[in-house]
Structure 1
Amino acid sequence: MTDSTDSRAEHNRRLVVHGFTEFAAGNTEILRTLLREDFIEHSPGNPSGRDAFIEFISNAPVANARLELRRVVADDDHVVVHYRMTTPEDERGTAVVDIWRLVGDRIVEHWDVVQPVPADEQIPNGMF
């Protein structure tokens, strides 16, 4: 990789981690500065478009959940975050992998994989 590719990946990683940290602290408005207006959502049931997505996600369980970031992987224009989402009603939680594609300083696309965290005896090597 070239230095410019490495620095773009690191720049994108910092943008997404900052946004994740702000969102996890309850600041859903951070998404207005991160998502492009024509944002494309690939998750079933979630709307595309910045404003529609923000309205949807602000009212979704994730907006009030505890988010524990476990790892971040970044390449040229994609950033992948792996985290645990828990609520008082579900302390075992959910494992989530979000994939964000960026152009410039904006997120333009999102995919995710979501899986309930099973009981410890079902995952002897750990989920995270």
Structure 2
Amino acid sequence: MPEITKTERNRKLVLEGFAEFARGNIDILRTLLAEDFVEHSPGNPSGRDAFIDFIAHAPVAGAQLELKRAIADEQYVVMHYLMTPQGEERGTAVVDIWRLEDGLIVEHWDVVQPVPEPAEIPNGMF
């Protein structure tokens, strides 16, 4: 049986963690993030514990998350998904970029864009 590559292992780790988080398990982040995790999004704190405390109260924590695609390359996993917080109709398009080392997420970047009216995106957001 062929050995799993680093890319495949990291992709699986992040996607399984995303699925668990999407089911409401915020504590899964404690097993995925390095203690000295670095966050690059404006207003979001770095450090595993500070980041988890922040995310637990952010709109993403209670939102419906619908993964559209994932791309992995060695130490990076990129996810493109629709985040629809409770009470919102169209939601938000999100791209997360996760960098991993030794089986843990050590860095994160994101791009977040509200989904506009359908007439404004004739080819769709996803």
TM-score where L is the length of structure 1: 0.95
1:24 aligns with 2:25: no
Aligned match of 2:90: 92
Q: Residue by residue, what CA displacement relative to the aligned partner does 1:11-30 show, whole Å, maximum 9, x if unpaired?
A: 10000000000000000000
In the alignment, the residues of structure 2 paired with residue 119 and residue 49 of structure 1 have an alpha-carbon distance, to the nearest angstrom, of 36
Count matched residues: 125
CA contact (8 A) 2:62 2:86 kept: no
Q: Shift in Å at residue 88 of structure 1?
A: 3.0
Q: Any runs of at least 4 consecutive aligned residues in structure 1 with deviations exceeding 4 A, and if so which?
A: none
Aligned match of 2:12: 14
Aligned match of 1:77: 75
What is the RMSD of the two structures over their aligned residues, measured on CA atoms?
Answer: 1.3
What runs of 5+ residues in structure 1 fail to find an aligned partner? none
What runs of 5+ residues in structure 2 fail to find an aligned partner? none
TM-score where L is the length of structure 2: 0.96
In the alignment, the residues of structure 2 paired with residue 20 and residue 88 of structure 1 have an alpha-carbon distance, to the nearest angstrom, of 18
Aligned match of 1:107: 105
In the alignment, the residues of structure 1 paired with residue 124 and residue 87 of structure 2 have an alpha-carbon distance, to the nearest angstrom, of 21
In the alignment, the residues of structure 2 paired with residue 76 and residue 105 of structure 1 have an alpha-carbon distance, to the nearest angstrom, of 11
One-letter amino acid of the counterpart of residue 35, structure 2: E
